[in-house]
Amino acid sequence: MQLGADAGSLRRRLIAASCALLGSSAARAGQGSFTEQLGRLMEDWKIQSALAYYREDGRIQAIEPVISAVRDLSDGGKLALNFTFDSLSGSSPNGALPSHVAQTFASPSAKSLASARHLYTISPGRLPADPHYSDARVAGGADWTLALSRLTRLNVGGKFSYEDDFYSATVNAGVEQDFNDKNTTVSLGVSSENDFLQPIGGAPAPLSDYSLFQKGGHETKRGQGLLLGLTQVMSRNWLSEVNLSLDRFSGYLNDPYKLVSVIDAAGDPAAYVYENRPGSRTRRSVYLDNRVAWERASVGLALRYMTDTWGIHSDTAQFRLRWWAPGRDQYFEPSVRWYRQSAADFYRPWIAADSAQENYVSADSRLAAFHALTFGLKYGIGLTDRLGGIGRQGAEFNVRLEYYQQTIQNGPVAPAALQGLDLYPSLKAVLLQIGFNY
Amino acid sequence: MARRKCILLCELIALCSLTVGCSSVGVKPWQRELLSRQDMRPAGNGLDEAIDDHMYFSKEASSGGRSFGGGGCGCN
């Protein structure tokens, strides 16, 4: 009996202890639920984030934070989200030529040169640029890849971009099919883009005299794209990819803030007119990317040839080398990119006042013939073992520095009065980026 | 123009060579250790490429080719 009494007492004590233990576990679970949930959420998503600072020599500067999150789904699919914010400020070239005389312009919001809130005067010899340029952009996107079978995937996605004077929405869909023991993947995708432009001060009448302020309301632009891709595993350390793309844009393709100088016989600016570009543009491109890896290094060479109905042909070659330090927790990645393009058929650095008027004309230097070089260096350090208990595979801190230089080819022979002016100034820019992947 | 056609022809030959040769090249699943690394994946440097593409899109007349563009800026 004594034993029974002792057994009952022991049972009660055990029940009480179990309840206390459960209660304490529940309390701990309640306290840790947020961090546990956050931890579980972070386990499911791969996060990439970066903050980029871009600065041109004497022109634009921009700050751009970017974040993307990718989650592998249990059915073999994938969900990817990204978000970008840009803040730009500085001086934006307005397309007019430098001159030996001072030139005065009004910012786009002006209704006349007399009522302009922001007039700006360009000193002789300087490139005309609006010093009050400021803009902000918010952009985001989502892509969902759905595994239809072991070898077939369907992906759908969308992007948006919002600025004060520009809204853009793009949707895309595609299918990927694996062959040859998953060594070959063929993909086919289509996209549709719709843009709405509401230029500050209104969209100027094409080729209208700048001083007359003939401006309308909003404009629209549409685009459709087709992309055919082939990815091939060539060997256990060599991957090759080829893409053929075709896209077509139509609608308002002008830059509403770009002017063209009208030069008199003496070479002085007699007037300025707003540019006008064709209302459609079709582009074709071939893109070839090869990547080769070794134990502590990898290289990548990407080549692209692009041509369009505006008469622009471009060639691009980009090479990068990633070299891992012993231990494979730090790497250096130097890169170089070479680019050249021919001028658009309607690119004219200026218009002679006595010449016949052309239907399409633009002095935008982005449509000129030029070549560009980019030199970059990236350094990354793995954080998996440096974050203690919260470290995870793939965690990394990186910093990247790039230098970009664009050299514009000289155009037609300038009138005597323009001699000595830098009519085709080069562009130099630096990009500094800090990134954190988790 | 002849040079352009030559470049285009070379690129098409490269594409055809890849397509024809696809069935005879490749690796077994257990030989993909190097290929599965992040630096070997297409768009493995996703953010770097997105930031670079935006810079080039706003400064050059050509863009894209690697994947779909869109959602860009109004800078034409």
Dihedral angle computed from the Cα positions of residues A95, A96, A100 and A104, in that order, rounded to the nearest 10 degrees: -120
Q: For chain B, say whether A400 makes contact (Cβ under 8 Å).
A: yes
pLDDT digits (tens, 9 = 90+) for A227-238: 999 999 999 999
- Diameter over CA atoms, chain A: 125
Candidates A84, A189, A306; nearest CB to B68? A189
Residue A205's closest CA among A249, A252, A264? A252
| Average pLDDT for A153-174 | 95
Whether residue A316 is predicted with pLDDT greater than 50 in this model: the reply is yes
Cβ distance B72 to A339 less than 8 Å, yes or no, reads: no
* Sole residue written with tokens 């285009």: B8
Cα distance between residue A126 and residue A94, in whole Å: 12
Query: In the prediction, which pLDDT does A248 show?
Result: 97
Q: For chain B, say whether A330 makes contact (Cβ under 8 Å).
A: no
Domains contained in chain A, CATH given = 49-88+141-437 (2.40.160)
Query: In the prediction, which pLDDT does A354 show?
Result: 86
Whether residue A5 is predicted with pLDDT greater than 50 in this model: the reply is no
Of all residues in chain B, what percent carry a pLDDT higher than 70?
Answer: 54
Q: How far away is chain A from the Cα of B23, in angstroms, using its nearest Cα?
A: 6
Residue A130's closest CA among A224, A49, A59? A59
pLDDT digits (tens, 9 = 90+) for A290-302: 999 999 999 999 9
Whether residue B8 is predicted with pLDDT greater than 60 in this model: the reply is yes
Dihedral angle computed from the Cα positions of residues A403, A336, B57 and A142, in that order, rounded to the nearest 10 degrees: -110
Whether residue B73 is predicted with pLDDT greater than 80 in this model: the reply is no
More confident residue, B9 or A332: A332
Distance of CA A182 to the CA centre of its chain: 31
Average pLDDT, chain B: 76
Of all residues in chain A, what percent carry a pLDDT higher than 90?
Answer: 73
| Confidence band for A78, pLDDT divided at 50, 70 and 90 | very high
Q: Which residues contact A88 (CB under 8 A, 6 or more apart)?
A: A60, A61, A62, A133, A134, A135, A136, A137
A residues 97-116 lying closer than 8 A (beta carbon) to B:
none
Residue A173's closest CA among A186, A191, A185, A161? A191
Whether residue A2 is predicted with pLDDT greater than 90 in this model: the reply is no
| Average pLDDT for A382-392 | 77
Q: How far away is chain B from the Cα of A124, in angstroms, using its nearest Cα?
A: 25
Residues pairing with A188 in the sheet = A175, A228
